[in-house]
Amino acid sequence: NAGVTQTPKFQVLKTGQSMTLQCAQDMNHEYMSWYRQDPGMGLRLIHYSVGAGITDQGEVPNGYNVSRSTTEDFPLRLLSAAPSQTSVYFCASRTGGRNTIYFGEGSWLTVV
């Protein structure tokens, strides 16, 4: 049981480039989400999914796309990277109610 796996761990992009952050979980959780964490701020929700084929926007969705073709995978796509997207990104999964939220180890993204 690997939990939540994120790749890559570190990435440097040039402004305007696109890339995909990968996230996979092996716990059969229906709920998956992407957060970004910036210095001095709490984790902010980018996009989330409540099951395969269902996604919705969080509080900071602009510049990001997601899809959920399987229960296990929830990739985050940066369409045209901007320096404002320099951040640490966390993928998380959980079931409903009071169950534990499991976070990935994070992806450090720098846009120059």
Minimum CB distance to other proteins smaller for 44 or for 77: 44
| Cβ neighbour number for residue 46 with a 10 Å cutoff | 24
Per-residue binder mask for other proteins (CB under 8 A), 65-104, x = binder: -------------------------x---x-xxxxxxxxx
Q: What residues are paired with 55 via a beta bridge?
A: 49
Written as six digits, the tokens of 46 are 């980018």
User: Which of 17, 20, 22, 50 forms a contact with other proteins (CB under 8 A)?
Assistant: 50
Three-state SS at 63: coil
| Residue 42 interacts with other proteins (CB under 8 A): yes or no | yes
